[in-house]
Structure formats: C-alpha cells, structure tokens
Copies of this chain bind each other. A is one copy, B any other.
Amino acid sequence: MAKVPYKTYLTEEEMPKQWYNIRADMKEQPDPMLNPGTLQPLTSPEDLYPVFCEELCKQEMDSQTRYIDIPEEILDYYKTFRPSPLIRAYHLEKALNTPAKIYFKFEGNNTSGSHKLNAAAAMAYYAKAQGLTALTTETGAGQWGTALSMACAYFGLDLTVYMVKVSYQQKPFRKAVMETYGAKIIPSPSDTTEVGRAILANNPNTGGSLGCAISEAIEVSMRDDSCRYALGSVLNQVLLHQSIIGLESKIAMEKIGEYPDVVIGCAGGGSNLGGLMAAFMQDKLTDKANARFIAVEPASCPSLTRGKYAYDFCDTGRITPLAKMYTLGSDFIPSPNHAGGLRYHGMSPILSKLYYDGYMEAVAVEQNKVFEAATLFAKQEQILPAPESAHAIYGAIQEALKCKKSGEAKTILFGLTGTGYFDMQAYTQFNEGTMTDYVPSDADLQRGFDGLPKVD
C-alpha cells in the first residue's frame, strides 16, 4: 500500500450532509434538564424557546433522530472552512521514535482559530431563518466569540459578546477580530445586567468566568424578543453540530485504510471531544468496534477527574436550567493563571453520562506540561497549537510513548481544535519560565461542591 499522505482531505462532495445525534445510539440517556424554578424535568422544546431559537430547542430535546440534515445554507457556509484535513503526524512520530501512528484532525485553519465555527454556523443560520435579528453569547478564550462573530457577519445578525474579563484584558486582539466582524464586546461581569452587578457587588475584582458571562448574555437576550442566546459548548445541540468533525475523520480514515485504537480530545465543556468522538463512539455503542476514548482536561479545572456527577446550573447566576453533569459547582471560578479556555465548571451531559457509564477515560494535566507538548508539536508539525488543543497533544504523546515501551503500532487520533496565535502571552510566559501550575486543593473543590443545588 502506498504511503499514507500527510494530509487527507475529503472532496466537497464527500463532506457529510447530515449531523449525527449520538443520543440515538446511547443505551441509557442523559438525565433530563430541570426547570430552575420548579426543579421539574423539562419535557418539551417549548420550555426552552425563550432562550434559544426554536429549531435549536428541538434539536436539544431530540434524543431519537439519529441523523439530522444539514441545511443547504450551512453546507455552503461550511465550505468556506471545511472539509478540514486529517493529518498524519509523521514528524512528531519520528521525534518520539514511536511505532504508533499518530493522526490529528485539524480544525484550526479558519479565522476563528478553532472548531467552534461548526456550531456557530448552525446557531446563526437557524436564528436568521426564524426571523430573529440578534444573538448574544459569552466567550472565554475568545474562540467561540470569534466564531459566532464571523457567522453572524455572514448571515446578517447583530451580536453582543460577553467576554470573560480576564480574557478581555489579556487578549485585546481577540476583541479586535470580533469587532472587525461587527460584534459588540462587553467585559464580564459588567454593569449592563442585574446578574453582573450582583457579582461585582460581591467581588469587585473578579476576573470573571464563563459561568458569569453566560448569565449576563442570557439576561440581555431575554429583554428583546427578536434576540436569542447562543452557547458554544456543553449543550446537546452543540455536540450534534460538532459531530461533523468525527464524521469527516471517519470517512478520511476509511480512505486511507485506518481506524483509531484510541481517540483523544481536550475537554472543557466537551464540544470538541464530543464532536470528534461521536462517529467512533457509535461503533462502540453498537458493538462494531472498541476504540478507547480519552478526555484530557486541565488540572486547574478538573471537572471529569475530580468533579461530582450531579445536577447543577450551567451558569453562575443560576438562571439556566439544571443539567446532570460532572461539575465543580457553578460557583467554582478557575484560577486566572490558567492560560487557555477549558475553564468551565461543568461538562457536556452527554459526555458526562458516557464517562459515568464507563465508555470513556479522563486525565488531568498541569499547564507547563501542556506547553512543553505544544512547543514540541509546533517545531515538528509546524503548527502552533492553541493551549486548549495542546492538552490533546499531551495526551497523544503519552499514548505514543506507551507504544514505544510496548512496541505496539497503535493508531492514535486526536483533535487539534485550534491555533494559538492569540495566546502568545501564555507562550511568552512559558518561554520565559514564568508560567505557574495551579491545582485546586480538596478544600478549594469542596467550596464549589457546597454550592451545588439540592436536587432529589
């Protein structure tokens, strides 16, 4: 067989025309969301209509439909940045001297610098189709906000982005990109919302968190009936839209005669790993294959490895429905010393359920190790990874080194979700040796758990 090419691209005709809904193949479903007032399960998409646009609410609640058609307009938009390449990391393999075959699906070759555009496209399109004129959202590291700015510019919607204050201060250029696409950016917590004012009153110097920013963005969206809120991770709908990553990966691997023994992704809210692994997890759920799945999360925000599987709010202001998920508690505010995204207190309910049921593994890693992996990768594969993505690189390197020890030529697939061009402050810290690691103590975590809502 001919040598596998460095990059395998699908043609535009080969691109998937449907998203894959993993819930249709799960033996047990994630527990339903609860109404934050009554603590009763949400039973109908209409319960969510005030927050999200209608089609997305239907997708959120739909655990039955296995494949959902991607609208033509979204397919057209996808072609501005998809298909994304599946890349064989020949140079990294050589540097590690491993018999493992390392592949990565590179989702960062677009101006948002990440996979987030896959879901942003759907949210902007369905909002426009419903006749809405505006969206609100939050952003942490800035990838999601940039992605939604781009999609809103394309589909013709106004966008207000609540940006976690510490990121707003550290990443003025992320803000500038979003503004170039026409979005309005507000540092969170802000005085533009009740929840923001309350958080500031309690803690005037807070650097903010995704949980706060979500609360603010939802509050603002509720004021205007032509506006809805959009969330870039955690939700079932997001995992649905991100499933294109794994669907494309699977087709590309089939083209070169490969199938992964292990699938690795970084995990914050779960949007990337959920999307990358879905098509392969389907094979595991239906007993067609048996890959391992590994979530790599930051030791500073270890929701899977040290969190509780419990009902919790998705935001700090406690205005969202409750989801059953691995969580550090919605009051948990990650250390601002942490460089990347992946700073969210919870985890996708789908991923949480799969992890709880033993279909997945998880590891946590400190950030200096992550940047060591990032730098090795950058020099070998010539792509400067986002700090988030570098968690997955670290995980892949660990598995490849195990293969070196055992002599096994396993096939490793990881998700390179994005590029680090807007994370150079963190790289500079690492280069200068001033980057610090932070691992919350058990007492730190207990404070978050103490705030968990009492359900049952």
Contacts and interface: CB of A to CB of B under 8 A. Distances in A.
Contacts of A425: 173, 176
Contacts of A181: 378-379
Contacts of A12: 5-7
Interface string A139-182: 00000000000100110000000000000000011001101111
Given A176-B427, A176-B431, A154 B379 contact: yes
A383 interface: yes
Interface string A312-349: 00000000000000000000000000000000000000
Contacts of A421: 111, 113, 173, 177, 421-422
A182 B113 CA distance: 23
A14 B282 CA distance: 35
Nearest to A111: B384
Given A79-B6, A109-B109, A383-B111, A424 B177 contact: yes
A259 interface: no
A379 B80 contact: no
Contacts of A382: 77, 80-81, 110-111, 150, 154
A375 interface: yes
A203 to B, nearest CB: 30
Contacts of A375: 180
Interface string A11-48: 11000000000000000000000000000000000000
A70 to B, nearest CB: 15
A91 interface: yes
A50 B380 CA distance: 30
Contacts of A428: 172, 176, 179
A239 to B, nearest CB: 23
Given A177-B384, A179-B431, A181-B379, A80 B6 contact: yes
Contact of A7 (B79, B172, B383, B427): B79
Contact of A11 (B5, B153, B154): B5
A381 interface: yes
A67 to B, nearest CB: 24
A172 B170 CA distance: 13
A419 interface: yes
A11 B182 CA distance: 37
A355 interface: no
A311 interface: no
Interface string A423-441: 0110110010000000000
Interface string A217-240: 000000000000000000000000
Contacts of A154: 91, 379-380, 382
A104 interface: no
Contacts of A384: 111, 177, 180
Interface in A367-383: 375, 378-383
A180 B7 CA distance: 24
A125 interface: no
A52 interface: no
A153 B381 CA distance: 10
Among A172, A180, A383, chain B packs the most CB atoms within 10 A around the CB of A180
Contacts of A394: none
A247 B77 CA distance: 28
A181 B79 CA distance: 32
A414 interface: no
Contacts of A293: none
Question: Which 6 residue pairs are nearest across A and B when measured between Cβ atoms?
Answer: A173-B424, A176-B424, A6-B79, A153-B379, A421-B421, A80-B382
